[in-house]
Structure 1
Amino acid sequence: MTTTGRGSAAHPEKIEAHGSMLTNAAAKALAVLRIATGFVFLWAFLDKTFGWGFATPSAKAWINGGSPTKGFLSSVDVGPSGLQTFFHNIAGDAWTDWLFMLALLGIGLAFILGIGMRIAAGSLVVLMAMMWLAEFPLDKTGAKGAPSGSTNPITDYHFIYAVTGIVLALTYAGHTWGLGKWWASLPFVQKNRWLV
């Protein structure tokens, strides 16, 4: 929804966009949501890379030889056994670590800057789907019978983040307090609209 104006004399508080109206307050709220969501993923990247001691101790930082995926994926004990085996087999592999970390960094930066929102949203959906499968909230207990910690089998944080990403991309949330308008005006983005 590219903004075409700042409203009219009758509705100065609204932004017109392809026949629909988005209030300035709504655009700003979406911008706050976009930046906050981006920061969640950028922070995860930074903490896992440098081991700032929040989720990752310094000794297990990626720059100190730690693996950002090994601990989580090697401990998967929910879901179908074939799925568990798949996650155990890729845990700590260099390609898994790099792909995961690039996803965190790319999603985080894209959302904070408000650029490449469609790619970021698509990447976020894939990342959240993989993490949902690894945590498999449909199971109440793990393979050894211990509670899985699942509180809701369907609508959990994976689903909410994925939907948030889609909403942010579809509402052009990067155009408010972001570089979305500038990004969309670049010739290579104009030729490849999927980059918006």
Structure 2
Amino acid sequence: MTVTKGHHQSSHTDPATPVRDAAPAESVIRPVGYVWAIARISLGWTFLWAFLDKVFGWGFSTPANRAWIAGGSPTTGFLKGTGENALGGFFGGLAGQAWVDGLFMIGLLGIGVALILGAGIRIAAIAGGLLLILMWAASLPLETNPFLDEHIIYAIVLAGLALSGAGDVLGIGAWWGRTSLVRRLPILK
């Protein structure tokens, strides 16, 4: 931040730093920080809710008798439904495998919690983007658009969250970023 004769010029060049305007006595977060924070928390809840519904079978997407705690497979419904798709043979073969179920559920939980808390957003964005791209690939060819669907849009939003420092607003990202662990391994921010 450069201050010249009462004028504030932002020298904000690090995309991983939250967008702020600094006044001489205080730091004010611009409204865009709140928009990214709300997007972060909303997308985090989307991932966390998918995890909870698949674990407990609360009947929204997963009936109780197909819940993970009841012995159901959280990946079978979606992946078995890809059989007729371009990559359906590959993805259908992954359906119901314990290691796939475990990775999928750990991913949903970790991504959801990281986004809601605002810590570990870079890792969450990478893992979430990969998960979403795989789900998009399993759906090819798309029914309503030649190449674009919500999986790609969410992956783009995750990238924006990671690059904007969205965990610092309405989250613990600023504190998390000052820990010695994150200072040594910035990818954990």
Counterpart of 2:7? none
Where does the alignment leave 5 or more consecutive residues of structure 1 unmatched? 16-23, 139-149
Counterpart of 1:104? 108
Counterpart of 1:152? 145
Q: CA deviation at 1:77?
A: 3.0
1:64 aligns to 2:79 (yes or no): no
Among 50, 57, 64, the residue aligned to 2:56: 50
1:137 aligns to 2:152 (yes or no): no
1:164 aligns to 2:157 (yes or no): yes
Q: CA deviation at 1:107?
A: 0.7
Amino acid at match of 1:33: A
Return the alpha-carbon distance in structure 2 between the equivalents of residues 40 and 13 of structure 1: 31
Where does the alignment leave 5 or more consecutive residues of structure 2 unmatched? 1-15
Amino acid at match of 1:185: R
Distance 1:33 1:5, change over 3 A: closer
Return the alpha-carbon distance in structure 1 between the equivalents of residues 97 and 18 of structure 2: 44
TM-score (norm 1): 0.83
For the residue of structure 2 that corresponds to 1:33, the secondary structure is helix
Return the alpha-carbon distance in structure 1 between the equivalents of residues 107 and 66 of structure 2: 19
TM-score (norm 2): 0.85
Q: CA deviation at 1:109?
A: 0.5
Q: Is the 8 A contact 2:55 2:68 kept in 1?
A: yes
1:117 aligns to 2:110 (yes or no): no
Q: What is the total number of aligned residue pairs between the two structures? A: 173
Return the alpha-carbon distance in structure 2 between the equivalents of residues 4 and 32 of structure 1: 15
Counterpart of 1:94? 98
Distance 1:100 1:5, change over 3 A: closer
Q: Is the 8 A contact 1:79 1:133 kept in 2?
A: no
Amino acid at match of 1:107: I
Counterpart of 1:174? 167
Percent identity between the aligned chains? 47
For the residue of structure 1 that corresponds to 2:22, the secondary structure is coil
Among 176, 184, 188, the residue aligned to 1:191: 184
CA RMSD of aligned residues (A): 1.8
